[in-house]
């Protein structure tokens, strides 16, 4: 029987979000209904509300979530009712060329739940990133659920569903930060701070945090940055070169998504270093570089998609490390809030003094 739950809906472009009654159908083949326990407020939710992703209003927001599987549809074998799971954006096929080569984040045939959740009047909802987790329950593809240790706090587990995984993965999976490396992280919001945590985990000797906001640099230091550079007042390329005897960093992680910061990343790396772009640019952004500078430098220019993570490998591992006290994912949770507080949380996110507000149910 379809169920009625409360959920946070963005009704139209730039309109305030509202808590509405959402109808969640029974799970069909390959689907699961998850009782959401926690869901972080991310910039992408705000972008949906602003119409910056697409125009498929109304949206059911929320996509950084953990919860307990309530029911599964026919043919679901990987998860069962009662499992504690972290949700990810897309179930992958497991059969295409990308999946077979161990790169499921480039899967050619990803999917979400086939059925739609609706409003009471039958209007179909678009679930943010195929999840829609600012709701007491949500319908997803079973393949979007990854089972993890149920003893961790749901607010912490849910973080791995998006920004924190993207940042840690950018350092560990994409950048392949190694023991003794010098890493520079440009842009120290949630994603950049997670890249700092990932770099430390990977054994980096020096982690240089770059931001235009001193408060962000302070937080980055508490996450493990060994040096900080305010790029409003100091040229970060020169500062990074100075700190590395003129060579540049082994890995530079760009976590802003702008041409000028990408340019800094390009020139702040060692000649054979790696640049990882994890910040997401907008379609109109362009960057001109002398081709000779690209030629004259070896190394690698990479982008990181969802931290190039393998959810089944990385989610349980990072939760294990957190539970052991070897990384502190709790430091990313600034506050816990209710479903009715999402609009205010967007405003605080804008102010820049929140790493993550997490809706807890």
Binding site for ligand APR (CB under 6 A): 43, 163, 166, 186-192, 210-213, 216, 231, 255-258, 260-261, 278-280
Q: How near is the Cβ of 147 to ligand APR at its closest, in Å? A: 25
Q: 148 or 255: whose CB is closer to ligand APR?
A: 255
At residue 128, the 3 state secondary structure works out as: helix
User: Which residue number places its CB atom closest to ligand APR?
Assistant: 189
Out of 23, 38, 65, 107, the residue judged to bind Zn ion by CB under 5 A: 107
Measuring CA to CA, which residue among 71, 74, 64 is closest to residue 38?
Answer: 64
The 3-state secondary structure of 62-97 reads: CCEEEEEEEEECCCCCCCCCCCEEEECCCECCCCCH
Q: Name the β-bridge partners of 24.
A: 3
Out of 44, 118, 231, 357, the residue judged to bind Zn ion by CB under 5 A: 44
85 binds Zn ion (CB under 5 A): no
Asked if 69 and 46 count as a contact pair (C-beta separation under 8 A), the reply is: no
Question: Is cis: bond before 252, omega within 30 of 0?
Answer: no
CA gap 192, 223 in Å, rounded: 10
Which one of ligand APR, Zn ion, none is in contact with 62 (Cβ closer than 5 to 8 A by kind)?
A: none
42 binds Zn ion (CB under 5 A): yes
Measuring CA to CA, which residue among 6, 337, 19, 344 is closest to residue 158?
Answer: 337
79 binds Zn ion (CB under 5 A): no
Cα 208 versus chain centre, distance: 21
99 binds Zn ion (CB under 5 A): yes
Q: How near is the Cβ of 165 to ligand APR at its closest, in Å? A: 10
Q: How near is the Cβ of 43 to ligand APR at its closest, in Å? A: 5
Out of 96, 280, 301, 317, the residue judged to bind Zn ion by CB under 5 A: 96
At residue 171, the 3 state secondary structure works out as: helix
Q: 205 or 280: whose CB is closer to Zn ion?
A: 280
Sites of contact with Zn ion (CB under 5 A): 42, 44, 92-93, 96, 99, 107, 162
């Amino acid at each position: 029987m379809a169920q009625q739950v409360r959920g946070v809906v963005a009704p139209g472009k730039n309109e305030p979000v509202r808590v509405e009654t959402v109808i969640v159908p029974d799970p069909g083949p390959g689907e699961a209904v998850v009782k959401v326990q926690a869901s972080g407020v991310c910039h992408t939710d705000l972008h949906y509300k602003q119409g910056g992703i697409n125009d498929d209003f109304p949206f059911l927001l929320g996509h950084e979530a953990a919860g307990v599987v309530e029911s599964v549809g026919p043919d679901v074998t990987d998860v069962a009712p009662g499992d504690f799971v972290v949700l990810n954006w897309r179930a992958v096929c497991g059969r295409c060329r990308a999946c077979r080569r161990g790169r499921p984040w480039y899967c050619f045939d990803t999917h979400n739940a086939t059925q739609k959740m609706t409003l009471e009047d039958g209007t179909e909802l678009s679930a943010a990133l195929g999840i829609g987790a600012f709701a007491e329950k949500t319908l997803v593809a079973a393949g979007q659920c990854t089972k993890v240790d149920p003893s961790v706090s749901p607010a912490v587990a849910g973080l791995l569903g998006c920004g924190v995984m993207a940042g840690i993965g950018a350092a560990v999976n994409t950048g392949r930060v190694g023991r003794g490396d010098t890493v520079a992280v440009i842009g120290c919001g949630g994603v950049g701070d997670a890249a700092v945590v990932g770099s430390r985990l990977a054994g980096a000797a020096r982690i240089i945090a770059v931001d235009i906001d001193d408060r962000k640099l302070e937080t980055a230091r508490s996450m493990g940055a060994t040096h900080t550079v305010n790029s409003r007042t100091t040229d970060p390329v020169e500062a990074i070169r100075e700190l590395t005897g003129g060579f540049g960093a082994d890995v530079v992680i760009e976590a802003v998504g702008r041409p000028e910061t990408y340019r800094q990343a390009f020139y702040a790396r060692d000649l054979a270093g790696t640049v990882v772009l994890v910040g997401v640019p907008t379609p109109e952004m362009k960057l001109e570089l002398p081709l000779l500078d690209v030629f004259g430098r070896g190394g690698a220019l990479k982008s990181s998609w969802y931290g190039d993570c393998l959810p089944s490998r990385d989610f349980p591992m990072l939760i294990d490390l957190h539970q052991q006290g070897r990384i502190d994912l709790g430091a990313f949770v600034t506050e816990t809030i209710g479903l009715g507080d999402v609009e205010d949380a967007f405003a605080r996110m804008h102010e820049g003094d929140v790493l993550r507000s997490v809706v807890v149910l």
